[in-house]
Amino acid sequence: MKTRRPLAVIAATALTGLGLTALATPASANTTVTISGPDASNLTVSPSSTTGTSVTLVRATDASFAVASQSLSDTDGACTVSRAPLCTVPGNFGDAATFDIAPGSGGALVRLIDINNNTLATFTVTYPDAPAAGGTPAPVIQQFEKSATGTCNEAQPEGLNWGGASSGGWGESWAQWANEGQGGPVCTRTLEYNNSTATWQVR
């Protein structure tokens, strides 16, 4: 089973991959959505809605489709039709891919689409806000693997400026999940929610 490496919010555990983002407090585990059907014109999605910090799509069909949503992301950025390639699930029956759900998503629509952007099936995702005292969502730690050249600010991947957050503000650290689990330098920053502006900001 193949999975995509997460960039957005996930439970605060060590992960292998190009990027990591974690809540400063524990978050719910990812959930699974199964996509089945004899062909692209008859896809079904179960369950039709899910709540979590990430979602794993399991392919139970050989039909071709891509994933489109402003509220999901993978290592290439948000799953939007304005970029290519879209987020995808590997093409073999039984394969899977994990995508991150953006904080603040509430019943956000996810479309499974064909090459012409026709909707084949839909489901919704909700991010479970974990409010601290006073009803403010917990701070979010974002990380991605540091490249050998360039600065962290220059190398920031797409899809990390959630809910009004600006680019930049990255520092350097070390994480075990980097370098395929062998550990290495990472770029890191913390986003915190500003109740007065209802936006996420770099701490």
Per-residue pLDDT reduced to its tens digit, 70-120: 888 887 678 887 766 788 898 889 899 989 888 877 788 899 999 888 999
pLDDT of residue 14 exceeding 70, the answer is no
CATH of 9-126, one of 3.30.420, 2.60.40, 3.30.1450, 2.60.120: 2.60.40
Return the SS3 of 40.
Answer: helix
pLDDT of residue 184 exceeding 60, the answer is yes
Torsion of CA 49, 98, 193, 51, to 10 degrees: 20
Q: Is the pTM of this model over 0.85?
A: no
Greater confidence, 3 or 9?
Answer: 3
Structural domain boundaries in the chain: 9-126, 140-202
Mean pLDDT computed over 131-149: 72
Read off the pLDDT band of 166 (50, 70, 90): confident
pLDDT of residue 19 exceeding 70, the answer is no
| Strands in the chain per DSSP E | 9-10, 19-23, 31-36, 44-46, 49-51, 54-60, 66-74, 77-79, 96-101, 108-113, 119-126, 140-145, 171-175, 184-194, 199-202
